[in-house]
């Protein structure tokens, strides 16, 4: 019988233990999904809202991975862009980019899930790879979509992914510190 790499075994165990289908799994998946979907809708009227909305959506992605693992985070990765398309809150030239935005969210949560430590390095790597993917998409579509929409796929993606990840990291860090003080 072929031996499986212990790291692969650990990843498989971590993946399946997070998918417990207990009420907490459903609660946190629903919580982060609603946060990621409602932020763009509620803040659609705010001018130049991309930095705020993007930070909330990315914080939801990182938070979901931390709380419920990859499977719960997949819903959070897919729902915001799908809801924005259905609701019509996205400018029409952006509609063709929805699959790429979803893929970039899946890249972010997958890389973050696969890294053994959830720290600033894993946040920077996940955010950086998401940004590189969207930046290459932007370059590919540069002659098909107006420049102001393409800018949305450049540096703001890196800033919002880093901001969302760091916010969740700080929340986790301080909540863990406070829990250890009370015990």
What confidence score (pLDDT) does residue 45 get?
84
Is the model's pTM score more than 0.75?
yes
Encode pLDDT of 10-57 as tens digits.
655 555 555 556 888 899 999 999 999 999 888 888 888 999 999 999
* C-beta separation of 131 from 164 below 8 A: no
d(CA 92, CA 85): 9
What confidence score (pLDDT) does residue 157 get?
96
Domain spans of the chain, in order of start:
58-175
- Provide the pLDDT confidence category of residue 171 given band limits of 50, 70 and 90: very high
Residues in the chain: 183
């Amino acid at each position: 019988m072929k031996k499986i790499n212990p790291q692969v075994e650990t990843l498989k165990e971590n993946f399946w233990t997070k998918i417990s289908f207990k009420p907490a799994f459903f609660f946190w998946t629903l919580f982060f999904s609603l946060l990621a979907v409602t932020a763009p809708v509620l803040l659609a009227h705010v001018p130049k809202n991309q930095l705020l909305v993007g930070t909330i959506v990315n914080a939801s992605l990182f938070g979901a991975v931390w709380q419920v693992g990859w499977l719960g985070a997949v819903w959070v990765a897919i729902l915001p862009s799908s809801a924005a398309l259905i609701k019509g809150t996205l400018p029409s030239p952006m509609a063709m980019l929805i699959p790429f935005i979803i893929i970039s969210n899946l890249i972010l949560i997958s890389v973050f899930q696969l890294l053994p430590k959830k720290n600033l390095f894993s946040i920077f790597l996940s955010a950086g790879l998401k940004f590189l993917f969207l930046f290459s998409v932007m370059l590919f579509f540069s002659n098909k979509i107006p420049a102001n929409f393409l800018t949305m796929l450049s540096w703001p993606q890196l800033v919002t992914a880093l901001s969302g990840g760091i916010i969740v990291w700080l929340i986790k860090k301080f909540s863990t510190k406070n829990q250890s003080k009370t015990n």
